[in-house]
Amino acid sequence: MPVYDTVIIGSGLGGLECAYILAKEGQRVCVLEKNRQLGGTLQIFSRDKVIFDTGIHYIGGLDKGQNLNQFFTYFNLMDKLRLKRMDENGFDRISFEDDPQDYPHAMGYEPFKESLRRLFPAEKEGLEKYCSELQATCKAFPMYNLYPNKDNEIDFKYLKVNTKDFIADCVKDPKLQQILAGSNPLYAGCPDKTPLYVHALVCNTYIESAWKCIDGGAQIARILCKNIKDLGGEIFNYSEVTGFTYTNKKIKTAILKNGEQVEGKNFISNIHPARTVEMIEEGYIRKLYRKRIQRLENSISVFTLHIVFKEKTFPYLNYNYYHYTKQDVWNSIYYKEENWPEGYALFVPYSSKCPEGYADSMNIMAYMRYEEVKQWENTFHTIPKNRSDRGQSYLDFKEEKSQKLLSLLEKKFPNIRSKIKSYYSSTPLSFRDYIGTSDGSLYGITKDWRNPMQTFISPRTKISNLFLTGQNLNMHGVLGVTVGSVVTCGQFVGAEYLIDKIRTAT
């Protein structure tokens, strides 16, 4: 094999974006992916000839002039994506058991405020404060606004604010407080941990504009891969990295599971930092750095039910539901097993093959701790090369959880069972196997307002030619990972130079 300028470990969105940036700058790059399918959480799968997304259920900030639109223009994605704009009157809807009212998150800040003012007329000033502070928080992060962060100039005050307390300070109505935090499964919100900047950066991008990927988010990975190859980059699947060789305290080669070695001048790991340091031999990084990375807490995982509908039986919903059994959106993450699920996030994909006005599928996610599936953790399942039999007990476990989730779903959508052709489920083990987090974590490292700098991971490691990227760097989500790829590649080509290239891309 040739010597590459940069070898990238993992083909998630961050890895592919790094490959594109560096290939565009003339580097010889290659991407190594352990699974068959590329893209990390951009992966899709098919059941009964219906496509399901694994992670990218909708995307924000894609209107002309918005930040992700400009990033995607630079990546040569924007004019190739097949997108459907979501319901402007309520792209997200928050609902509670025993309350017939749906509470909308409308698109655009003025409609967002107005739709909630109609329901909570006494909270006009509070909603104004909430929205203005949300926007101010986002403006405090230069890279998200396509400006280089020259001197680490993020205002520290925006890091040390708790989201739940912030919302309560803005609006006094307890119900409205719950509604404003209602989409917190997008970031696995914890009442005692989640910083305001996480809530703000995630919610802002969808309030600006919200979109579904027609026929799934894998198109993003597919287009990026073609663009990388057109620039001379190489991509290899079934290429799991298990370790490294070294020379002069630098990494020389990545060792693959089959024994082959891939040589590079620099290496970027798009896999979890804890998994990355596990592959580094003792003596090449300090014990304190290793322990710090390995002790960081990961966010919770999910159980997902994937439903295939009988033809022309279930109407297409151009919005998402976040539903709760109690008027407490924060503590469903701390559910008790006997009360599971205490809420769910519901997404209806848009399929070009489905008759107009109807849906062919639905995804329902409910929080699930890894401990619930730990008894089967020594089994692995990645199609087609690694298919452990987890046994009947695992199938029984999934069926029990599926039925509980269906029973809760039926309260919101009566008679939905009669419209189901088939259903399938995935657990934290599925996420672990296909995405590569050791505990199936949904969003990687948990952010904590009480110690914000502890959970900001530098793209530089203690090995001079090994760098990190991906959702654990600064933020998860399409925009967060995209910004992370720019932060990482800025170490190679200069952040100010790269941001200028992106800002002026057409």
Q: What is the pLDDT of residues 303-356, one digit of tens each?
A: 999 999 999 999 999 999 999 999 999 999 999 999 999 999 999 999 999 999
Lowest mean pLDDT among 167-176, 268-277, 293-302, 452-461: 452-461
Determine what percent of the chain is predicted with pLDDT higher than 90. Answer: 86
pTM comes to: 0.95
Q: Tell me: the pLDDT tens digits for 98-122?
A: 999 999 999 999 999 999 999 999 9
Task: Give the mean model confidence (pLDDT) for residues 362-370.
Answer: 97
Q: Do strands 386-387 and 381-382 pair parallel, antiparallel, or not at all (unpaired)?
A: antiparallel
Q: Is the peptide bond before 341 cis (omega within 30 degrees of 0)?
A: yes
Domains annotated for the chain, with CATH where assigned, are 4-43+215-295+445-503 (3.50.50.60), 300-442 (no CATH)
Distances (CA, A) of 156 to 120, 129, 299, 450: 32, 20, 23, 12
Q: Is the pLDDT of residue 154 over 70?
A: no
Q: Is the pLDDT of residue 210 over 70?
A: yes
Contact, 254 vs 32, CB < 8 A?
Answer: yes
Q: Tell me: the pLDDT tens digits for 376-405?
A: 999 988 767 777 789 999 999 999 999 999
What pLDDT sits at residue 346?
98
One-character DSSP codes across 82-121: -EEE--TT-SEEEEETTEEEEEEE-SSHHHHHHHHHHH-G
Please, what is the average pLDDT of the chain?
94
Both tokens of residue 346?
Answer: 């519901």
Q: Tell me: the pLDDT tens digits for 8-49?
A: 999 999 999 999 999 999 999 999 999 998 988 888 888 998
What pLDDT sits at residue 149?
66
- Three-state DSSP at 53 gives strand
Q: Tell me: the pLDDT tens digits for 416-473?
A: 999 999 999 999 999 898 887 889 999 999 999 998 888 889 999 999 999 999 999 8
Q: Distance between CA 185 and CA 202 in Å, rounded?
A: 11
Q: Distance between CA 8 and CA 29 in Å, rounded?
A: 7
Task: Give the mean model confidence (pLDDT) for residues 263-276.
Answer: 96
